[in-house]
């Protein structure tokens, strides 16, 4: 591979004419203090793919790969040098060294993305190069919804590998929703005994007439979560858990009916929701519910060391609170302004609770309604407006607007697109996404910690469907998140598309079931039954998305 085939493209890459290096069975690996995670990764992943044992070698030896920390660089920055004597990767911290190794992997070509060598004993050539690179944002993430459709642990670990290969460093783990509770909580075992399974599942969008008439579910044990978090850490990825409150909670209420608004609905009759959309069954605003979820979050904090903990806070219908005498009495008791104030009280409570334990609350932009909690960070999903309001009021923001980086939205307007949802968001559209709105001042723009792409899985019933929706668009997103690009209209998409030709070969080697540039393969399509159209199964929205 050549320097002009890298994704994301580095800030500076210079070829060294007449210089090259061929790694082979005799190539050694020297790892300086603090680079042990990359040392292990090079042997177990890159070395295994290319048949390179990479035995320990001496510092400064020829025919070697050298790893070292260079405090003059920013923590995630790296400097990669390739010459006739070998490879050197310098990073400002361990993460920087690791991202440099990801660039090295791409330069070895698609064979480096396999699990076993195609040519054992062969030497693998690298071009002479001097690369200096650093990310634009400290938060470069992807959210995966495992509530609507459960992804087994091995699939999650595989996605962590895919994020690392694209220099993404945050995995937002959406673990609970109306359709399933996916994490073991030992003090509340019914959350998974009851709340992790639903009797059937809507096939397609919620207005589809079709059902999959079989149970769906699953959950991660606490040891599964520990394994996922530890594996992510080895890849320099932070796992941010999401426990959704006070809405999107029907699965929890079905397991523990007292959590719901029992004076207006028979919560004993509720089951884990089997369709999509926004359930009206939300948590009751009681002290008992607060204590219950404090217990949940105590176990979550034991499992996830991340600074940020996501509490959802989105799409909380107020119908039951309006009808509930208990909720109305609570509003008067607390002295808050209506149902929006009640939601704000809920979020503020857990903002203070998490802050007292050295953590930070993050929630979807609806947490702005009724007043934003003092320490809260906002995931701006309904557009830019929530993020702009939060940044202007001195709060941190993660930009993830639905109109740009919701990867459940369809990739093309053609009739063969499987389960078409939302606006058409092409590879080019994602490449032209700009996370920082122009109207923010320099000080306000610094509140944008980063960006993430969101993957909601209502119409993604298995890993292959997730692959199809995520790729190749995640490759475009990773360049947006990593690199400081020109203004959207000035970006060289033709060059990116050219580089994608090489990247498709990498994805092929990784076994990613991406959407081909020419459209879905026959097996990737979801043809509608006789008498229905693909629009009956999905929810396509025509025209360009609003820029809000």
State how far the Cα of 201 lies from the Cα of 211, in Å rounded to an integer. Answer: 6
* Count of CA atoms in the C-beta half-sphere (13 A) of 22: 6
- The 3-state DSSP class for residue 414 equals coil
Given the residues 70, 227, 315, 416, select the one marked as catalytic.
315
State how far the Cα of 203 lies from the Cα of 197, in Å rounded to an integer. Answer: 16
Given the residues 172, 205, 236, 248, select the one marked as catalytic.
248
**Which of 253, 265, 282, 235 shows the shortest CA–CA distance to 94?**
235
Six-digit token string for 303: 């499992």
* Count of CA atoms in the C-beta half-sphere (13 A) of 515: 26
Q: Where are the beta strands (DSSP E) in 474-530?
A: none
Between vectors from CA 256 to CA 252 and to CA 259, what angle results, nearest 5°?
75
* Cβ–Cβ < 8 Å for 483, 142: no
Given the residues 177, 184, 242, 429, select the one marked as catalytic.
177
Six-digit token string for 353: 């609770």
Rounded to 5 degrees, what are φ and ψ at 95?
-65, -40
462 is an active site residue:
no
* Cβ–Cβ < 8 Å for 383, 401: yes
Six-digit token string for 219: 């959950």
Rounded to 5 degrees, what are φ and ψ at 466?
-65, -45
Q: What is the CA radius of gyration of the chain?
A: 24
How far is CA 54 from its chain centroid?
32
State how far the Cα of 118 lies from the Cα of 428, in Å rounded to an integer. Answer: 34
Between vectors from CA 136 to CA 132 and to CA 140, what angle results, nearest 5°?
115
Ramachandran bin of 374, using left for φ above 0, alpha for ψ from -120 to 50, beta for the remaining angles? alpha
* DSSP letter, residue 45: I
State how far the Cα of 158 lies from the Cα of 163, in Å rounded to an integer. Answer: 9
Q: Which residue has the tokens 């932070």?
A: 238
**Which of 480, 504, 457, 488 shows the shortest CA–CA distance to 405?**
480
298 is an active site residue:
no
Rounded to 5 degrees, what are φ and ψ at 352?
-65, -40
* DSSP letter, residue 20: E
4 is an active site residue:
no
* Count of CA atoms in the C-beta half-sphere (13 A) of 171: 28
* Cβ–Cβ < 8 Å for 257, 267: yes
* Cβ–Cβ < 8 Å for 493, 428: yes
Q: Which residue has the tokens 């591979």?
A: 1
* Cβ–Cβ < 8 Å for 38, 101: yes
Helix and strand totals (H; E) in the chain = 19, 22
Show which residues are catalytic: 177, 248, 315
């Amino acid at each position: 591979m050549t320097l002009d085939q890298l994704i994301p493209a580095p800030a500076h890459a210079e070829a060294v004419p007449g210089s090259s290096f061929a790694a082979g069975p005799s190539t050694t690996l020297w790892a300086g203090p603090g680079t042990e995670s990359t040392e292990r990764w090079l042997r177990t992943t890159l070395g295994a793919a290319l048949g390179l044992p990479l035995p320990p070698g001496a510092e400064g030896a020829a025919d070697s790969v050298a790893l070292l920390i260079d405090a003059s660089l920013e923590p995630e920055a790296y400097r990669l040098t390739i010459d006739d004597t070998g490879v050197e990767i310098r990073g400002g911290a361990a993460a920087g060294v690791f991202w440099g190794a990801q660039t090295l992997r791409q330069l070895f070509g698609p064979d480096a993305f396999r699990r076993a060598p195609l040519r054992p004993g062969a030497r693998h050539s690298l071009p002479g190069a001097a690369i200096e690179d650093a990310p634009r944002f400290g938060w470069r993430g992807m959210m995966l919804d495992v509530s609507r459709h459960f992804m087994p642990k091995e699939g999650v670990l595989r996605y962590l590998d895919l994020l690392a290969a694209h220099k993404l460093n945050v995995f937002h783990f959406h673990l609970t929703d109306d359709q399933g509770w996916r994490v073991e909580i030992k003090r509340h075992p019914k959350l998974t005994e009851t709340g992790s399974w639903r009797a059937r599942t809507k096939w397609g969008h919620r207005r589809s007439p079709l059902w999959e008439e079989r149970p769906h579910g699953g959950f991660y044990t606490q040891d599964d979560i520990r394994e996922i978090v530890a594996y992510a850490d080895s890849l320099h990825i932070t796992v941010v858990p999401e426990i959704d409150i006070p809405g999107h909670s029907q699965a929890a209420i079905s397991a523990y009916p007292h959590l719901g608004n029992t004076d207006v609905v028979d919560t004993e009759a509720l089951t884990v929701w089997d369709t999509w959309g926004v359930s009206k069954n939300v948590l009751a605003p009681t002290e008992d519910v607060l204590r219950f979820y404090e217990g949940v979050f105590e176990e979550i904090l034991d499992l996830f060391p991340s600074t940020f903990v996501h509490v959802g806070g989105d799409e909380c219908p107020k119908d039951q609170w309006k009808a509930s005498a208990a909720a109305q009495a609570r509003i008067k008791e607390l002295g808050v302004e209506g149902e929006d104030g009640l939601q704000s009280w809920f979020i503020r409570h857990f903002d203070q609770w998490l802050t007292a334990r050295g953590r930070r609350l993050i929630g979807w932009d609806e947490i702005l309604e009724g007043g934003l909690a003092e320490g809260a960070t906002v995931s701006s999903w309904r557009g830019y407006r929530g993020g702009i309001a939060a940044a202007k009021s001195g709060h941190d923001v993660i930009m993830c607007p639905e109109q740009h980086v919701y990867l459940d939205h369809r990739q093309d307007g053609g009739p063969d697109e499987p389960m078409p949802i939302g606006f058409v968001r092409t590879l080019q559209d994602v490449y032209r996404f700009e996370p920082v709105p122009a109207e923010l001042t320099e000080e306000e723009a610094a509140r944008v910690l980063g960006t993430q792409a969101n993957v909601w899985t209502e119409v993604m019933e298995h890993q292959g469907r997730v692959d199809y929706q995520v790729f190749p668009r995640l490759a475009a997103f990773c360049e947006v998140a990593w690199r400081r690009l020109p203004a959207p209209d000035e970006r060289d998409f033709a060059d990116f598309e050219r580089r994608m030709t090489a990247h498709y070969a990498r994805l092929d080697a990784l076994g990613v079931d991406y959407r081909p540039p020419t459209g879905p393969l026959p097996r990737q399509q979801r043809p509608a039954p006789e008498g229905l159209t693909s629009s009956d199964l999905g929810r396509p929205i025509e025209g360009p998305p609003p820029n809000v």
